[in-house]
Amino acid sequence: MVKAIIGANWGDEGKGKITDMMAEHSDLVVRFQGGANAGHTIINDYGRFALHLLPSGVCYPHITNIIGNGVAFHIPSFLKELKSLEDSGVPTPKILVSERVQLLMPYHVLQDTYEEERLAGRAFGSTRSGIAPFYSDKYAKIGIQLNELFDEAVLRERLDKICTLKNVLFEHLYHKPALKADELFDQLMEWRKIIKPYMANTQKVVSDALKEGKTILLEGQLGSMRDPDFGIYPFTTSSHTLAGFGCVGVGVPPTELRQITAVTKAYSSAVGAGAFVVRLDGPEADELRRRGGDKGEFGATTGRPRDVGWFDAVATRYGCQVQGATDVALTCLDVLGYLDEIKVCTGYEIDGTITRDFPVTPLLNRAKPVYTSLPGWKCDLRGVTDWNQLPQAAKDYVCFLEQEIGVPIKIVSTGPARHENIFR
């Protein structure tokens, strides 16, 4: 059977920890979208890892980790992460990379960087890791699939075509040096040798695993609000962050998808640009940011301070709907123990009307949060594993969120460590 774990809102919901837990009971762990532009934080006996491109099962010897065809595959990032695992003493993981995955090329990173420079203050908050140019090229059919590294004639022709197009932009719009097809070709020939042992027909691997009754975990990056169709476009990412896309991004039948676990924090946090209705400012924000996560709310990949705010039930309910969530994992409940009262955004006021439906971006930009206040519990919940040990106010808070989201909260996380959970 296939399970998916995905973000219910803006990303950084604490998926890393929950994925790590769910991975342990899976046979295959698969990345199906995105690239090295975001990160998961995983804490285990080997240390604390920010994984960007590698699937979260890499610390378990029994798991086959797959980089699916839907991923933006950046070879230098892949090699760097493998090296960091090796340096920390993690046994060599089992990793397969789809022969159909496309390569995120050095010129994608350049293009992203040049474009952000050109837009300056009007930029989309890109991490400059080349994701948007990569997916643009993929759908414009000028991408390079991994298997094409082994067809030199096709590859040379493709690179010539790509350089002709890119150099118009690079030289005449950005006033930067031209790309050279020969240099790119030589670089790809070097990478080809290193990557060959990982390359596989992963669609077949996954299909065979399903026939054998194995459990496959699809691991999403970012969250619903970053989906290019259902998110806060254009402040989204460039690949679909929804569980449904997992079927395309790795090649599993939609009918096999049985469990979709949406992860959300017990408050809101977002990194990057775009509307964030519950954004807090001033000392209130500083305190929540400082106390958030396990090291404060700063991006795992970018180190940028995250925006923080109270739980946004409008965004999260919608986020769970578009994911098709069957259950929810609520993280960072322990973070809120310092508060006398805790607000939850239960509606948006747009042009004088209150709505519970998540709107399109122009309306979202005008939305103001409508809050309901709940009493805080004023004690430290870090590491609590038994629902009955929670103070009534904390139980009431979780139940209130559950009612607002409309999906059962089955896991409540009370700390960054893997055993710090309540299962309901």
Q: Annotated catalytic sites, by residue?
A: 12, 40
- Number of residues lying near ligand GDP (CB under 6 A): 24
Binding marks (x or -) toward ligand GDP, 76..115, rule CB under 6 A?
Answer: ----------------------------------------
Q: What is the DSSP letter of 101?
A: P
Rounded Cα gap, residues 309 and 10, in angstroms: 12
Please state the closest distance from residue 313 (CB atom) to ligand GDP, in A.
19
Give the SS3 label for residue 276: coil
The amino acid at 215: T
Nearest one of 64, 63, 65, 130 to 102, comparing CA atoms: 130
Angle formed by the axes of helices 106-119 and 131-139, nearest 10°: 110
Position among 60, 401, 416, 422 found at the interface with ligand GDP (CB under 6 A):
416
Cα-based torsion angle of the residue sequence 275, 280, 286, 287 in order, rounded to the nearest 10 degrees: -130
Binding flag, residue 300, ligand GDP (CB under 6 A): yes
Query: Where does this chain touch ligand GDP (CB under 6 A) — which range of 5-13, 26-34, 107-115, 370-378?
Result: 5-13
Residue 301 vs residues 49, 58, 122, 138, 187: alpha-carbon distances, Å = 11, 18, 22, 24, 25
- Closest by CA to 416, choosing from 81, 44, 38, 36, is 44
Single out the segment in contact with ligand GDP by CB under 6 A; choices: 87-95, 157-165, 327-335, 342-350.
327-335
Residue 399 C-beta: closest distance to ligand GDP, Å? 18
Question: Looking only at residues 276 through 295 of this chain, which bind ligand GDP when binding is defined by CB under 6 A?
Answer: 293-295
| Interface with ligand GDP, residue 335, by CB under 6 A | yes
CB nearer to ligand GDP: give 335 or 364.
335
**Should residue 347 be labelled a site residue for ligand GDP when binding is judged by CB under 6 A?**
no
Residues 6 or more apart whose CB falls under 8 angstroms from that of 274 comprise 125, 225, 232, 235, 236
Our CB check for ligand GDP shows the closer of 251 and 293 to be 293
Beta bridge partners of 257: 2
Element (H, E) at 67: strand 64-67
For residue 84, report the phi and psi dihedrals to the nearest 5 degrees. Answer: -65, -35
- Among 3, 6, 8, 15, interactor with ligand GDP by CB under 6 A: 15
Which of 17, 74, 166, 343 contacts ligand GDP by CB under 6 A?
17
Using only C-alpha atoms, the chain has a radius of gyration, in whole angstroms, of 22
Of 11, 70, 130, 249, the residue at the interface with ligand GDP (CB under 6 A) is 11
CB of 15 to ligand GDP, least distance (A): 3
Name the residue with tokens 């500083």: 286
Tell me if 307 contacts ligand GDP by CB under 6 A: no
Query: Which element (helix H / strand E) includes 109?
Result: helix 106-119
Instruction: Between 12 and 99, name the residue whose CB sits nearer to ligand GDP.
Output: 12
Report the nearest approach of ligand GDP to the CB of residue 330 (Å): 8
Q: Which positions from 42 through 81 interact with ligand GDP, judged by CB under 6 A?
A: 43
Binding site for ligand GDP (CB under 6 A): 7, 11-17, 39-41, 43, 293-295, 300, 331-332, 334-335, 413-416
